Structure 1
Amino acid sequence: MKSLSHSHTFGQDIPRAGEKRTLVVVFITLTMMIVEITAGILYGSMALLADGLHMASHALALFLSYIAYILARKYSNDSRFSFGTGKINALAAFTSATLLALFAFIMAYESVMRLLHPVPIVFNQAIAVAVVGLVVNGVSALILGHSHDHGHHEHHDHHPHEHGHDHSHHEDHNLRAAYIHVLADALTSITAISALLAAKYFGWIWMDPVMGIVGSILVSSWAVRLLYDSGKVLLDRQAPQAIIEQIISSIEKDPGTKVADIHVWSIGPGLLSCELVVSTPYDHTPDHFKLLLPKNVGIVHSTVEIHKT
């Protein structure tokens, strides 16, 4: 009997653009994390210590992102994953966003405590380390940002009709999570420098913890957005309406042919699965309608059920 099995790899066995870049940034982040936490403790800067603590969380999150890429490739040929391993990336992104939100809360709490109970700060040393941290974060953002932006440009080139619509199903949420973590580090470095300069030259000691609170609010907003976008993928939310309408339009070209039911959802970055129920008076096979599906929306798996009318 002929086997009905077919590949569910969907390109997940190929190393993704952000994989090696993420690993490089992991090592950079770990190094700077140690420097900033040590300096924050020695020089008494809450903003600097908060920056170091964020780097600790981001180093862990970035490492999770890297591991997700490895696992997605390792199990890409495992037939037990019915729709491939693309959602491992979304799961890693959701986990990273959760960690980001947790450390934003810790940062806010510690900043409030420091606001209520100020401690002496060794300004020159703290500012110097914070500047180095900003440079490191900038380099890391450039490393990850190249792959992040390339993915977006690639998407827009192939889908010009979808401008103004939700593109989150095409994003590598894992790479986006890593990128946001690095941007959050850069933000806390900037707030640390600003607060330390204000405290040194104007005596505004309260600026150090206040900047920590402001930074935590912005970081938490990024975390919530990432939780929302990666959560949509994990919960199989329907693809954007523009794509649904494009599919229906392609299928209903023949008079009397109607799409009775349709489900389209993301199974990985830029990968969609589609299930259709088609009512038609013609003796068409499922393969006929599969060939009609738009080629530019990323459908890699499709199932068509036909009802003869």
Structure 2
Amino acid sequence: MSEHGTMEIRGFYRSHSHLPIWEVMDKAGIWEQMGLKVSFEFCDSSSAAEKALFSGAVDFVSGNHISPYLLVRRGQPIVCLTSPSNATNDRLVANFPIKRVSELQGKKIGDTTLVDAIGGYHHPRGNHMLYVLGGGLRLDEVEFVELTESNDEFRAMQMEVLESRKVDAIFVTGNTDKFEQAGMSVLSLDPLPMINGPTLTSTLTTLQKKTGLAERLVKAQVMGIHFARTRRGETEEILEGLRQRVPQCKNVQYRSVSKLLPKPYPDHEAVANAYRLCCMKSPETEEITPMALWDLHYLRELDNSGFIDELYR
């Protein structure tokens, strides 16, 4: 029985890679413990998700890591409360031998468009641009071949565009065994500090209107991460159900939830890189500090109370 009155809310998740922790929270009964009845749906566009946030059609979004900095600059009441994941680990796959990113000079890199049809920012494409820059190249020293605006479609065509030599290389998140088995060259890359994964994004308007919602959301996520990290057997059963039910999650692994931070504070380098991507696309963003987007006092109050430390004792 929850100590709270039940609050019905609606959320969007921006990527199926976010879904495992929300599934754990649901199936472990954590939403119910926090007095929340949550309707949760996939949204493929950052612009569509933000429109829903500002209209009040949804109360929170899991994701939207880049464009909110620009929206803060433009006076919109968007706010981020937590960041359980602060780095991304991609690999570079090429149809020619490659030992360093700088060898992409003059090559064609297959990717999605930078923005979708309604202006939503494709975060993975931005990450790939940072990998190129981090390898010592300018963006105009490579050619990004924009194959589709859909991340799912892009993943489905990766092998074909490499084998047909329509492109020379792609950046891949996750398992690359099939590419190695096909004779492709796979280069491991250093982790890129980056806000990603199941961040809690909402609006000041919604949080002011629905008293206690922010506290419940933050505490629920902290409890869900604790459940996943400390009750592996039950979590594996929940993830197996997710793999069976959602085709896009068929390869979900336990690490996708066990790696999430017990105290989901954003890392300063991760914030800086997300902000940098937004500034690259929309230079006016430079007129505000990146920390204007973040309201961490709900998490800090929970942390300062000793609640999180006590969970892990």
Instruction: Please state which band the TM-score falls in when normalised by the shorter chain.
Output: under 0.3
Q: Which has the larger radius of gyration?
A: 1
Length-normalised TM-score, structure 2: 0.23
Q: Greater relative contact order (Cα 8 A, min sep 6): structure 1 or 2? A: 2
More strand by share: 2
Length-normalised TM-score, structure 1: 0.23
More helix by share: 1
